[in-house]
Amino acid sequence: MVLEGLGNVLRKSVDKISSAIFVDKTLVESIAKDLQRSLITADVNLSLVKEISDKIKKEGEKYTKGVEKKEHLIKLLNDEITNILGGDKKELILGKKEKIMFVGLYGTGKTTTIAKLAAYYKKRGRSVAILGLDVHRPAASEQLEQLGKKIDVPVFIDKETKNPTSIYEKHENKLEKYDLILIDTAGRDALEESLTKEIQLLSKKISPTHTILIIAADIGQAAKIQAQKFKESAKVDGVIITRMDSSAKAGGALTACHEVNAPVYFIGTGEHTGDVELFNPKTFVSRLLGMGDLESLLEKVRSVTDEKAQKKTLQNLEEGKFTLNDFYEQLNSMQSMGSLSKIKELIPGFGKAKIPDELLGAQEEKLKKWKHAIDSMTLEEKENPDLLEKQTSRLSRISKGSGTTTGDIRQLIKQFKMIKDLAKGAKGLGDILDPSQMSQKDMMKLAKKFGKKKFMKFK
């Protein structure tokens, strides 16, 4: 997958947010930090990285009326990344008659991309022709001829002529009958004067409807200077970034083009003629996040949490007044997400986590039992569970009333106490409720008390 590293981190962040019970400072900071690291690895400009992580830190915990905090944070993450990649989609809109000239440095993928686009538009019902004006590289004409044969698109070249303008003149009349003409030009090592002049001359002669710059993702942030220069000297109106499949620096190239206002219309994702995709920042990011559908996930997150009840629980925890009622709320919010195995499918990343279904089933059973047990308790018992340990008759009453064993209830109390204990020592609630934020020691402690060590991987 394109930008795999960034995608992995984003999917993990969504998992973290979805499975945390509260959105607090610790959680927001850890999300911002993970994102920061992965953007730097994807070669995104450092000041841009700082800007986006500052914004997430600043606005991640904001409470907007009517919008659940988790939803807000996931959306913020989504929107910020979409923005640096170009925001709203800028489509290459084609009219009835189009002549598109492709320019760029040596070996960036001009010729290959032209063949890809010819196939792309042919499939969509256009009558397409390719014109080869690269007179510098000896094998350029053969390359185009072969590609044209492969995709069954006519190719116009002239192996004898060394002047691109006269090649155009030679074929001009024959090209009239096509409604989309893709024009290949020669590259250079750098944007030197001879290249600028050649492009300007051809531009004057042909008057292309679009001039598109081809950049290879490998150059990362350097795409900024290149796109800017080509825009100024060759009237480039958009960019196609190739080798998105093989470069870790793709994030740099994409964001850099957006910085200089050079819309990325397509991306090349491989060497074959089918390896081209329309570039739309929004769909690109939702794929990175691993969500077929961001809305449906948000919808689920939205339906889960009762913000008021959570706030109360948080407050109680902080004041050391955490009762079984609060614990019940916590169980509720885990359960109201539906069956745990269903959530596993819905939340990307969960699906891949190694949680055996039996274990999830066992976990669900346990949650249910605990809730039944709490339902059978008196208010006094809920506020002071120590009573249950002192008077075992209470235990048997609850066990009978709730269809659980006294062992189940003891386990519930143990778990409850441990959370309460941890709360005293922890900095913030995120530390307690997101095991990925826990110290190794706490984690072991919790896992041990919980009985099923593997469960910890799930949260």
Ligand X SMILES: Nc1nc2c(ncn2[C@@H]2O[C@H](COP(=O)(O)OP(=O)(O)OP(=O)(O)O)[C@@H](O)[C@H]2O)c(=O)[nH]1
Residues that bind Mg ion (CB under 5 A): 110-111
Give min distance, CB of 99 to ligand X, in A.
18
Q: Is 104 in the site for ligand X (CB under 6 A)?
A: yes
- Binding segment for ligand X (CB under 6 A), chosen from 59-67, 133-141, 341-349, 428-436, is 133-141
Q: What token pair was written down for 3?
A: 């930008």
Q: Is 112 in the site for ligand X (CB under 6 A)?
A: yes
Number of residues located near ligand X, criterion CB under 6 A: 21
Q: What token pair was written down for 159?
A: 């192996």
Q: Is 110 in the site for ligand X (CB under 6 A)?
A: yes
Q: How far apart are CA 269 and CA 287, in angstroms?
A: 15
Q: Which does 209 bind (CB under 5 to 8 A by kind): Mg ion, ligand X, none?
A: none
Q: How far apart are CA 69 and CA 62, in angstroms?
A: 7
Mark residues 160-199: x for contact with ligand X by CB under 6 A, - for none. ---------------------------x------------
Q: How far apart are CA 407 and CA 394, in angstroms?
A: 13
Which position has the token pair 């480039």?
236
Closest by alpha carbon to 158, among 183, 135, 187? 135
Q: What token pair was written down for 19?
A: 């499975």
Q: How far apart are CA 312 and CA 344, in angstroms?
A: 28
Considering only residues 213-242, where is the footprint of ligand X by CB under 6 A? 242
Give min distance, CB of 107 to ligand X, in A.
4
Give min distance, CB of 224 to ligand X, in A.
19
Helices (H) and strands (E) counted in the chain, each on its own, are 23, 8
Give min distance, CB of 186 to Mg ion, in A.
7
Phi, psi of 447 (to 5 degrees): -60, -40
* CB 101 within 8 Å of CB 212: yes
Q: Is 106 in the site for ligand X (CB under 6 A)?
A: yes
Q: Which does 109 bind (CB under 5 to 8 A by kind): Mg ion, ligand X, none?
A: ligand X
Q: Which does 104 bind (CB under 5 to 8 A by kind): ligand X, Mg ion, none?
A: ligand X
- Measured at CB, which residue is nearest to Mg ion? 111
Q: How far apart are CA 223 and CA 101, in angstroms?
A: 19
By beta-carbon proximity to ligand X, the closer residue of 70 and 243 is: 243
By beta-carbon proximity to ligand X, the closer residue of 104 and 281 is: 104
Which position has the token pair 């993928």?
109
Give min distance, CB of 184 to Mg ion, in A.
6
By beta-carbon proximity to Mg ion, the closer residue of 132 and 430 is: 132
Q: Which does 108 bind (CB under 5 to 8 A by kind): ligand X, Mg ion, none?
A: ligand X
* CB 385 within 8 Å of CB 414: no
By beta-carbon proximity to ligand X, the closer residue of 274 and 361 is: 274
By beta-carbon proximity to ligand X, the closer residue of 238 and 268 is: 268
Q: Which does 243 bind (CB under 5 to 8 A by kind): Mg ion, ligand X, none?
A: ligand X
| DSSP secondary structure letters along 345-401 | HHSTTTTTS---HHHHHHHHHHHHHHHHHHHTS-HHHHH-THHHHH-HHHHHHHHHH
Give min distance, CB of 131 to Mg ion, in A.
13
Q: How far apart are CA 282 and CA 83, in angstroms?
A: 9
By beta-carbon proximity to ligand X, the closer residue of 269 and 313 is: 269
Q: Is 145 in the site for ligand X (CB under 6 A)?
A: no
By beta-carbon proximity to ligand X, the closer residue of 117 and 360 is: 117
| DSSP secondary structure letters along 388-448 | HHH-HHHHHHHHHHHT--HHHHHHHHHHHHHHHHHHHH-SSHHHHH-GGGS-HHHHHHHHH
- Binding segment for ligand X (CB under 6 A), chosen from 20-28, 38-46, 108-116, 277-285, is 108-116
Phi, psi of 212 (to 5 degrees): -115, 130
Q: Which residues bind ligand X (CB under 6 A)?
A: 104, 106-112, 134, 137, 140, 187, 242-243, 245-246, 268-271, 275
